Structure 1
């Protein structure tokens, strides 16, 4: 009863219309987070089949199927214009490769809306991060943007295991609002102003997780993985300072914590992709064997070229790029990498 009264108090204080675009595992987890504190959550899903299944049974039929929703708290649609028009805050939670397809359909007025990116990848259409894409293509400035980072696996949210979100946002008022909307008994929220840094770190940790998976598939043990991750966080710091230099501590949870959980967890799709490659799958066959998008694969190409353009020393990124895109032998490339780590 105490928990219910606390939730009702939050709703009364924060009458915010919020919607989620996407129907994958993390989008589903975000909807689960939001229904804890919202009277209604708008949800734009990919097609009528998914919409119908949710409205009929209260479950996403494809991802996190164990999560049950109170249908009185959901307004499901397949029309992004319907959702954006109805919402003050729009959470983007599609895979990066599908984001432009979704937003290209947005013809409604979105002035003064807050767009929150929960996407941890590069937008292929412009070969850039979501924040820059929103700014350049849709004139949505950083004051109207926010970024969600982890460490937070969707599967653990589904089980209501204690998880942590970092929300990067420019405006204090928006930060407070988002923190209240996402916080619950099983979600702790921390806010920061490092919007692009959090976005880039979320992308980088996926690439490094592919590498951690490759090393596991090749038979490297915990000792090597520890050295690999230790070097990866230092490499991340070099990259972040080169692309967006602001005061930050990469040892904080949004950076190092998110990297650790993505590199080690069996829930990590990027680690699982790398593990298959390390076991001898071709990159193409490994991708085809997975039913979810591994963002690290798509991001590795863009991040590698950014590293080269800025003349950075990034041996781990280089190694993963060579395996994924140059068809170099994983075992040979990782033997070379072991000599560059310390």
Structure 2
């Protein structure tokens, strides 16, 4: 089986960071520091035309100066520079880019025009894009931390895909203290090009991924999304939160990532039909992550509840009944054990 067409996003052999910097707490400084500290296993090139060196590494004024093939571009420069950078990357054979920069479709008419220019440049050279307006992407097993999150992630078998960078940060912070690891963390941002469907298509065949968590505000390509979701749910647990259940939430999602949010009851029925578990809160998503990280896969509908208090046990039993679960009858030997 050949490599997936998104392989240069998830497993690049070389990365160029546009906007890499020594300026403390700038996005470019954090991204490049993360790449250095995570121990990226490929070639790493900081690009900054104003400095010959960034964080102790030789810097390049332009991608043309590198003289080696770059597979993934990570861009943290002002929005007006991004379409030109993508065009230049295309000329030099780059096939994937993560655009952390904000200020595109979510920023009004001027930003939408800039986003259109960005997409035209990417499609001219067949470059696939994550973002813009995203936290970045992580692949802990290969030391890829192309994000501006202050910290990394442990290696594990959970993939987390989110349209909110803030929620990526929250779950990464929580995971560190709860011994939960990830195969991939993907902050989608505005999902201008690569959407959930394509990410799912990669993850379903990814040997490092055992389960998939998602935070969704809106879907651009519903047909692709449902097809990939159906395929993923057949062989891996898929758990998601989707916001915008009401009119006010839909409006907020549009202003955040310019995402279109469809009728919630239609979405709920569709994901339930393909075997996906939809939760309603981030706490429930975190709980699911903890449960999945243990590697245990329950079968059937019988449930045993272990509790140190009667009240919580009764509440849990009621909720189990609501969900159609059957309380298991424990044998005398199990009770005595």
- The TM tier, using the shorter chain, reads 0.3 to 0.5
Q: What TM-score do the two structures reach when normalised by structure 1?
A: 0.37
Higher strand share: 2
Q: What TM-score do the two structures reach when normalised by structure 2?
A: 0.38
More contact order relative to length (CA 8 Å, sep ≥ 6): 1
Higher helix share: 1
The structure with the largest alpha-carbon Rg is 2
